[in-house]
Amino acid sequence: MDLIHDEARGKISCYARDNHVLIMQGPFQLKQGGYGIAVRKPVYLEDESGQEFFWGFTIVIIRVPEIFSDSVKPLSDFGYQYCLSKTGSPWEEAYEVVDCSGGSISAPVSYTFEIGGSVWKLEVMPQNGWVEKSYLYSIFGGGLLIVLLLTGLTAALLILDENRQELRKLALTDALTGIYNRHGFDKHVTVYMKKYPEKHCVGVQFDIDDFKLINDIYGHASGDKALQILAESMRKFFPDHAVLGRNGGDEFCIFLPDCTCKEAEEKLVQFTKQKRFFVYEGEERAFNISLGYAEYPVHAKSQLQLMHCADAALYEVKLRGKKGSLVYDEGFDPEVRTQLGFALRDISENLPGAFIIYKADYTDDEILFANSELIRLAGCENIEEFMTYTQRSFRSLIREDEREGVEQSIWQQIGTGQCNDYVHFYLKKKDGTYLKVLDHGRIVESGHYGKVFYVLIMDWDSMKEKYRDSL
């Protein structure tokens, strides 16, 4: 909902934003029936430099006249007619009726007050006309108006303020993990470094190794669970004064106040080596992290520079094989990051052939990854359809009468000490047809899954056509 640019609500919303005031608009007819008044309070946050900026509105809709029913009932019980009205905006003078007992009111006692950018007016008179005004004045001034304010508008404003505080909290918190989001993290670190500019502190950046692969293979629900497990381990492992944050995706950050890299090293190494698992289909799946850290003011002169240095150290860990931690060094070249621009998916999708990764276990050949070319060769539309068709088993892709022989050939080659294997077989497509292919595999050790096969699969007939003179 874009209130600022809304034709009907934009002007008064801009007034509230620019003047830092609460505003009320209405009464207006509600879609669900009846009438209501919109109460909007602007919410402001601070950026990294401490400058305030507008974040949005917290909004409460109060139904009228229902919200005033208990408040004005004593008026009717005492035999008075009443009319409650308000101006439409801070710049309008005309009143709109909010609630009225009915019947005409002549020469009423009235009281006006301002709230929510509007002027409110309560008018009261006896149903049978005036006998003694002074008596009414005392009743009106001494109790009835107070009851009205406290039980009606004031209650709504209290709810609104609670919502505003909650929204401010939510604006600084990551919804999935419950720790600070990037804005909340930066805000708290900025406050500390401004207050204690001479104190040493450590900035940490880390992420989950091969997180995209977790999402691709096990689904985003499992990826989210891994993020939550990691955040919970942060809360348990680090002291209360540490600032914990999630930058977004699988990227996390930590700020350790009044600390040096040397003092933090052992703890960060231990944190990196922690065993972490998420459960998928009843089985535990391990995942690891890579972590980089830097020290202020040794490596950096500002918060921004501190986290950039920690980030450079993190990327250095990635280049060295992941699953580790490393302190920043001035020799780390930011240009080397370009080497990491080619992620597994980027490479695999552009290989001149089909590519698959599956577990190198004779009793468990679970498919861990397949590129789009293999999905196409198998006659499937997407990875979900492919995984359903194969039931996540590599042998499902082999023609039934060849499966035992192909598997024996692969393991016989591996058993002789070779890293690579070569084998021909007919790939079984989803539509029941077959395609003759060349399988070129390599067995490797994975930190996540143990021994796995990395396999290129080529269309044999296409290869013969292209290279018939060489084959």
CA distance 185 to 193: 12
Per-residue exposure over 250-260, b if at least 16 CB sit within 10 Å of its own CB, e if not: bbbbbbbbebe
> Which of 171, 197, 221 is the last residue before a domain boundary?
171
**Residues making up the chain, counted from first to last:** 471
With 0-12 / 13-18 / 19 or more C-beta atoms within 10 angstroms meaning exposed / middle / buried, residue 469 is exposed
Q: Of 284, 306, 340, which residue sits at a domain end? A: 340
User: Residues 187, 317: one domain?
Assistant: yes
In which element (H, E) is residue 420 found?
A: strand 420-428
Chain mean pLDDT for the chain: 82
Which two tokens mark 302?
């500002």
For the chain, how long is the longest CA-to-CA vector?
119
Residue 431 lies in a domain: yes
pLDDT tens per residue, range 109-153: 777 777 777 888 878 777 777 665 555 554 554 445 544 544 455
pLDDT at 388: 87
- Asked whether residue 319 falls in the same domain as residue 248, the answer is yes
Closest listed residue to residue 355, CA positions, set 375, 338, 384, 329: 375
Residue 395 belongs to domain with CATH number = 3.30.450.20
Domain termination residue (choose one: 324, 340, 356): 340
What is the per-residue pLDDT for 166? 58
Residue 429 DSSP label: P
CATH of the domain at 278: 3.30.70.270
Beta strands in 259-393 (DSSP E): 276-280, 283-287, 289-296, 325-327, 354-359, 367-370
Residue type, 439: D
Please compute the mean of the pLDDT values over residues 164-175 and round it to a whole number: 69
Please tell me whether residues 330 and 186 are part of one structural domain.
yes
More confident residue, 111 or 389: 389
Q: Give a yes or no: residue 387 inside a domain.
A: yes
Give domain status of residue 5, yes or no. no
* For residues 83-100, average pLDDT: 84
* Residue 32 and residue 52 in one domain: yes
Q: How far apart are the C-alpha atoms of 376 and 52, rounded to whole Å? A: 53
The parent domain of residue 138 ranges over 10-171
Domain total of the chain: 3
Whether residue 402 sits in one domain with residue 320 = no
Please report whether residue 408 resides in a domain: yes
Lowest-pLDDT range of 169-173, 289-293, 397-401: 169-173
pLDDT score recorded for residue 208: 94
Q: For residue 315, which of 331, 336, 299 has the smallest C-alpha distance? A: 336
Q: Let me know whether 98 and 130 are in one domain.
A: yes
Q: What is the pLDDT of residue 49?
A: 65
* pLDDT (tens digit per residue) in 302-342: 999 999 999 999 988 887 778 899 999 877 755 545 455 55
Q: What percent of the chain has pLDDT over 90?
A: 32
The answer to whether the beta carbons of residues 324 and 426 sit under 8 Å apart is: no
Predicted pLDDT at 162 = 54
Q: Which tokens sit at 127?
A: 């149903």
Same domain for 49 and 165: yes
Residue 3 domain flag = no
Same domain, 17 and 135: yes
Highest mean pLDDT among 35-39, 171-175, 195-199: 195-199
pLDDT at 253 over 50: yes
**Least-confidence region, from 269-273, 358-362, 448-452:** 448-452
pTM strictly above 0.85: no
4 in a structural domain: no
Could you tell me if 289 and 437 lie in one domain? no
| Same structural domain, 116 and 139 | yes
> Is the per-residue pLDDT at 58 higher than 80?
no
Query: 24 and 163 share a domain?
Result: yes
Residues 185 and 276 grouped into a single domain: yes
Classify 133 as helix, strand or coil.
helix
CA atoms within 13 A on the CB side of 373: 18
User: What is the band of 289 on the pLDDT scale with cuts at 50, 70, 90?
Assistant: very high
